[in-house]
Amino acid sequence: MIVPMLKYTFIAWHLEYDKFLNDIRNIGVLDIVEKISDPGSLSKEKIDYFKNAKQVYDFLEKQKISALAEIKETEEDLKRRNVDIEHKNLALKKWPEIYIEDIEPFNKKLTIIRFQYYRDRYGNKDYKKPILNGKEILEKVLKYRDQKDALIQHDLILNKALKAALPWGEFSTQTIQKLKENGVNIRLFISSEKKFDKQWLELYNIEIINTISPYIYFALVTTDDENIELDAEEISIPEETISEVEQKKLERFEEITRIEQELNFIAINYLDEFQNYLFGLEEEIDFSKVLTNTENAVEDQVRIIEGYVPKNETKQLNEYLKQNTVAYFIEKPNPKDRIPIKQKNNKFARLFEPIGELFSLPSYTEMDLTPYFAPFFMMFFGFCLGDVGYGLLILAGATFYKRKTKPNVKSVLSLAQFLGLGTIVFGTLTGTLFGINLLNVESLEILEISCSTANRYLIWHLQLGCFRFYLGWH
């Protein structure tokens, strides 16, 4: 049978074209044709806006799943107890990364914010959600995501500052500054354990602050008059103490958590409205303009790509397009188009498809005759060759090579096995072995009963051929 096809039209920018083309070919898109469209006929800004909105919708879909699970967890906690939420611990998010031993303040902050949002919005019957249109939803989501990304980047900077301050422990930057004003300088050094000279402890005012193998962290106290040089790496005094950095991390964590709760609220309450807005954006894109060919290529051209996909194999392609936020349209093929042909037959008929391809494939609107001519081809091949010996040679040779050959050749050898089997059957009926008429062999006179009616089989095959032509005609 001919596999039904769906026609896809993809919109891709020239910068993404090569990778996108390879991806859809690997997925199985057939007969890919490129069209070129002038971005003046289809605003680049409109396409960018649509792609951005589609990406936000996919984001909100995933966000809604996690948000509903979080609300369910909160409701179950409320049912189980009368808990002091100040001491209730919930699972921390993956962001921002926590580089401190005491995560209790973060757990506490997360719990307070979650219960606060549930009490004020989800558990409050009097709360009415604001009315937002699609554009406002999009702007809010983009704003929150930008803010969240900026906070996470700042948190990564804080992680580096915390990592640099941890070996030195807590200290007062104000005290260090006052000592410097009075002519006493504190310098910080890092040295490997092998290079650290213990005589330094006797010669200079050195205090070992920390030892984290294989490094020693120490401070040297000098006056303005002293100029001491040590064979060690001198580092700047951290601008902030551990407690100061940890407090800033906690503040960033609170801001990120509140933004995440806002995104959860939008995903739960506005996803349907935003989906309708997305449909409206699709309708604004004039499909006829997208498919208009232009002879002259221009800078920043939009790549319009058409391809055909078997109707039962669209799932993987749709998932890929969704993940990569590719704008596309789907329609049924026009019978006048040049539609690629893909056949789908049972295991037996599939073996005879290469024979049909030697002549001509059926058009998309025609019937695939492969299942019908397959058995007749096998019978007529056996009838024409009609020799048990040659049939055995074909069957044995195909079986032997099938075990050692490449997978793409095995189907051809399976076809040879069937043709060899047909040759054996009709060779037996006509009593022929390697060209020898077995009826003339005296020791095989017993075969005369079964083989003497070969003329009958000739008549029967003529009748069968007429029936075959009848099927082909209708």
**Domain interval for residue 205:** 173-238
pLDDT value, residue 220: 92
pLDDT value, residue 469: 58
CA dist 203 to 189, 198, 346, Å?
Answer: 16, 9, 92
290/266 same-domain check = no
pLDDT at 185 over 70: yes
CA dist 268 to 63, 139, 212, Å?
Answer: 8, 17, 49
Q: Which residues contact 101 (CB under 8 A, 6 or more apart)?
A: none
The answer to the question of residue 251 being in a domain is yes
What's the half-sphere exposure (Cβ side, CA atoms, 13 Å) at 281? Answer: 24
The answer to the question of residue 168 being in a domain is no
What is the rounded average pLDDT of the residues 329-345?
Answer: 78
> Which tokens hold the place of 98?
């926590």
Give which of 240, 234, 102 is closest to 171, Cα–Cα: 240
Contact 24, 317 (CB under 8 A): yes
Give which of 466, 435, 67 is closest to 268, Cα–Cα: 67
94/151 same-domain check = yes
pLDDT at 189 over 90: yes
The count of domains in the chain is 4
156/14 same-domain check = no
Calculate Rg over the CA atoms of the chain: 40
**H helices present in 285-387, as ranges:** 287-290, 315-323, 347-350, 353-357, 370-385
- As a whole number of angstroms, the distance between CA 243 and CA 170 comes to 7
367/436 same-domain check = yes
What is the rounded average pLDDT of the residues 214-230?
Answer: 89
- Crossing angle for the helix pair 17-27 and 315-323, nearest 10 degrees? 160
The answer to the question of residue 135 being in a domain is yes
What is the rounded average pLDDT of the residues 60-88?
Answer: 75
The SS3 call for residue 79 is helix
Question: Which of 218-232, 294-308, 337-351, 371-385 has the least mean pLDDT?
Answer: 294-308
What is the rounded average pLDDT of the residues 2-7?
Answer: 82
In percent, the amount of the chain with pLDDT more than 90 equals 17
229/361 same-domain check = no
207/296 same-domain check = no
- As a whole number of angstroms, the distance between CA 5 and CA 310 comes to 4
452/363 same-domain check = yes
CB atoms within 10 A of CB 25: 12
- Confidence label for 287 from pLDDT (cuts 50, 70 and 90): very low
SS3 content of the chain, % helix, strand, coil (to 5): 60, 15, 30
